[in-house]
A and B are shown apart, each in its own frame.
Chain A
Amino acid sequence: MRFSVAPAAVVLCLCCGIAAWAQSPTYGVGKTPTPQQIRAADITINPDGSNLPAGKGTAKEGAAIFAQKCVACHGENGYDGLAPMLIKPPAGFKSSTPCLSPCIGPGTVMALHAPYATVMWDFINRAMPFTQEGTLKPDEVYALTAFLLYRNGVIKEDEALDQNTLPEVKMPNHDGAAIPDWKPGMARPFPNKH
């Protein structure tokens, strides 16, 4: 009797176990954040713009903010400071400061190199200005993004950016990435076997 029941019980337990693994937590630790807490913490902007905050800004507004909060490091013209270049310099411009490594020079200016305008918004929002990171208001971030895009010839001066128009901006380098696949145990395509 015992022997006949046991296999069935084992099978039943295994089924329950698998079902439980997929649907419920195993260790039951950690706190469940509220949707508001997640919203506040989530500064990782989806390239589709779906989690951009409300706000609006123009290149003109951005120019004023740039003059106030950015020129100390990035230079009056956005290409003549110690910090990475933000505006592509005119041809023949020779920087008086060495290009800091990683070198953000004329070829890799964020507005020209980033694949999505949302990436610029995301980075300015999370990481600028130096020593006061995370203090810019959404309107200011939209305005600074608009200013840098305008000064690099990506958008027009009067184009206002907001959570709907920003993801629509077609970046010069929008197709600039070949994205390699990755799987466990995958070799690189250049293993010259001897």
Chain B
Amino acid sequence: MDSQKKPTLKQGTDSKKSSRRKFLATGAAAAALGAVNTATAQPSAALGAVQTKSGQAATPETKSLAELVAYGERSQYVKSVRVPVDERPSPDEFGLTFHVLTPLLDRLGIITPSSLHFIGTHRGSITPNIDPKEHKLLIHGMVDRPLEFSMDDLRHFPSVSRVHFIKCLGNHSKAEGKTVQETHGLTSCSEWTGVLLSTLLKECGVQKGASWVVSEGAEEVKGAGSIRLAKAMDDCIVAYGQNGEAIRPQQGFPLRLVVPGFEGMYNTKWLRRTKVVDRYYMTYNDYGHISKDEEVAALTFQWGPKSVITFPSGGQKLPGPGVYQLAGLAWSGGGVVKRVEVSADGGQTWKDAEIRGMVHPKAHTRFGMDWKWDGRECVLQSRCTDELGQVQPSRAELAAFFKVQPDYYKTHGVQGSDNTIQPWRVASDGSVHNAI
């Protein structure tokens, strides 16, 4: 395989490593003390012997403080990491990144740290190394004025900052999924900053008869996806910012289309071209997501309401009976999460959970409640209701809708987009298991 494409990204890490090695060779401790003295406002803290209340010595970080001052890193004690989906190692045999799961169980708010945002690519790709000075977005097709925008041009348009989740169609919970990372790790939530696609389309003047928009990335496979013009003119963002900084390369630097509430595939990364057309082109990426069955098809494009309990969740273990803070995330492509209910008896009775934190349309929303565990086996699950009145279905309810056996989804994948309820079984020893 061509090795020319990967090193561009590697170079960054290599040079960092080499500077770290160089730094270590010149005497880490002395340099670290020096750096603290000059670079922080607390010189006394650097002189060692700082003790926490428990008596733990607050020794300096081992990393180059110059590096940490320039761009901060998390504590060495925080180990939360992404993992590739199990069916396909990432990078794969071809060096391509496919889908990588975010550690949903570790979320302490609604925002996914950019470094931990799940990764999904158009049928596998190499993350392109794009110079924003060279990057352009061309809008053409059924418009009065085809226009090409540089990144600087885009800053001339009014911008929006909105919190939205992006979630891959592949986020199907399966019985084999052990943890919430494995069952739900292809959803993430960020504050996206950029220009509304409708602003750019109005600037170009959309012609009568236009009905679809095909957007294309600049990666090597030039992944393309189609959305209806109605969605393009509604709330899509041509985003250059993610969580207060430039979008990360794995998320589409320097430009990505954010299609709020829709399947992840439509959120074209490395956006370079948008063509306004008068029919559904059904690109290579599109047709894998469509169905002949009208009922299944109607459940695609926009995500239904969904929620999942992240604590306690699969793979975790409760030390014993007691009162716990049950926690989870809910979201809906239909808008704002209005209500989350929790059942501790396998879905027979439900109790309202509290919405804890900020509530944005088409965004992760935290919920939680005091939950007393008496030490007996039980099945926990949550269900979400959104502002459209849509309620998250159980797998049995979905089976009834599609007229299959109630336990059909124990052994089969859910058709279309899966927004079914996730049950977790808490065993009497405190261990938590996937109870699909």
Q: What is the interface of chain A, defined by CB distance below 8 A to chain B?
A: 21-23, 25-27, 29-33, 37-38, 41-47, 73, 82-84, 98, 100-102, 108, 110, 113-116, 119, 122-123, 126-127, 130-134, 175-194
B147, B157, B235: which contacts A32 (Cβ < 8 A)? Answer: B147
Q: Give the distance to chain A from B233, nearest Cβ to Cβ, in Å.
A: 9
Some 26 contacts from A to B, beta carbons below 8 A apart, are A25-B205, A26-B202, A29-B149, A33-B138, A42-B140, A44-B281, A44-B283, A46-B277, A100-B87, A100-B92, A100-B98, A101-B88, A113-B287, A119-B281, A127-B123, A127-B220, A130-B1, A130-B94, A178-B297, A179-B290, A180-B297, A180-B298, A188-B304, A189-B298, A190-B393, A191-B390
Complex interface: chain B residues within 8 A of A110 (CB): 284
User: Once the chains bind, are A182 and B230 in contact (CB under 8 Å)?
Assistant: yes
Q: Give the distance to chain B from A155, nearest Cβ to Cβ, in Å.
A: 19
Q: Give the distance to chain B from A123, nearest Cβ to Cβ, in Å.
A: 4
User: Once the chains bind, are B277 and A188 in contact (CB under 8 Å)?
Assistant: no
User: Once the chains bind, are B87 and A187 in contact (CB under 8 Å)?
Assistant: no
4 more CB-based (< 8 A) A-B contacts, given A115-B282, A130-B94, A178-B292: A31-B149, A33-B140, A110-B284, A130-B1
Complex interface: chain B residues within 8 A of A186 (CB): 302
User: Is B291 among interface residues, defined by CB-CB distance under 8 A?
Assistant: yes
Compute how far the CA of A175 lies from the CA of B292 in the bound complex, rounded to whole angstroms. 7
Enumerate B370-395 residues with CB–CB distance to A below 8 Å.
385, 388-391, 393
Instruction: Report the interface size for chain B: residues with CB under 8 A from the other chain.
Output: 78
Given contacts A131-B2, A182-B230, A187-B390, contact A30 B153 (CB under 8 A): yes
User: Is B275 among interface residues, defined by CB-CB distance under 8 A?
Assistant: yes
Complex interface: chain B residues within 8 A of A191 (CB): 304, 388-391
User: Is B279 among interface residues, defined by CB-CB distance under 8 A?
Assistant: yes
Compute how far the CA of A133 lies from the CA of B5 in the bound complex, rounded to whole angstroms. 12
Complex interface: chain B residues within 8 A of A116 (CB): 282
User: Once the chains bind, are A82 and B391 in contact (CB under 8 Å)?
Assistant: no
Consensus secondary structure, chain B interface: loop
User: Once the chains bind, are B391 and A192 in contact (CB under 8 Å)?
Assistant: yes
- Of B28-36, B221-229, B422-430, the segment with at least 4 beta carbons within 8 Å of chain A is B221-229
User: Once the chains bind, are A30 and B149 in contact (CB under 8 Å)?
Assistant: yes
Compute how far the CA of A186 lies from the CA of B332 in the bound complex, rounded to whole angstroms. 12
Q: Give the distance to chain B from A78, nearest Cβ to Cβ, in Å.
A: 17
User: Is B231 among interface residues, defined by CB-CB distance under 8 A?
Assistant: yes
Compute how far the CA of A194 lies from the CA of B385 in the bound complex, rounded to whole angstroms. 10
User: Once the chains bind, are B146 and A32 in contact (CB under 8 Å)?
Assistant: yes
Complex interface: chain B residues within 8 A of A25 (CB): 145, 203-205
Q: Give the distance to chain A from B277, nearest Cβ to Cβ, in Å.
A: 7
Complex interface: chain A residues within 8 A of B204 (CB): 25
User: Once the chains bind, are B388 and A187 in contact (CB under 8 Å)?
Assistant: yes
Compute how far the CA of A134 lies from the CA of B219 in the bound complex, rounded to whole angstroms. 11
B153, B157, B291, B301: which contacts A182 (Cβ < 8 A)? Answer: B301
User: Is B72 among interface residues, defined by CB-CB distance under 8 A?
Assistant: no
Q: Give the distance to chain B from A115, nearest Cβ to Cβ, in Å.
A: 5
Compute how far the CA of A84 lies from the CA of B231 in the bound complex, rounded to whole angstroms. 32
Complex interface: chain B residues within 8 A of A179 (CB): 280, 290, 297
Complex interface: chain A residues within 8 A of B53 (CB): none
Complex interface: chain A residues within 8 A of B73 (CB): none
Compute how far the CA of A192 lies from the CA of B384 in the bound complex, rounded to whole angstroms. 12
User: Once the chains bind, are A122 and B203 in contact (CB under 8 Å)?
Assistant: no
Complex interface: chain B residues within 8 A of A101 (CB): 85, 87-88, 98-99, 170
User: Is B133 among interface residues, defined by CB-CB distance under 8 A?
Assistant: no
User: Once the chains bind, are A44 and B214 in contact (CB under 8 Å)?
Assistant: yes
Complex interface: chain B residues within 8 A of A178 (CB): 290-294, 296-298
The chain A residue with its CB closest to the CB of B350 is A194
User: Once the chains bind, are A189 and B295 in contact (CB under 8 Å)?
Assistant: yes
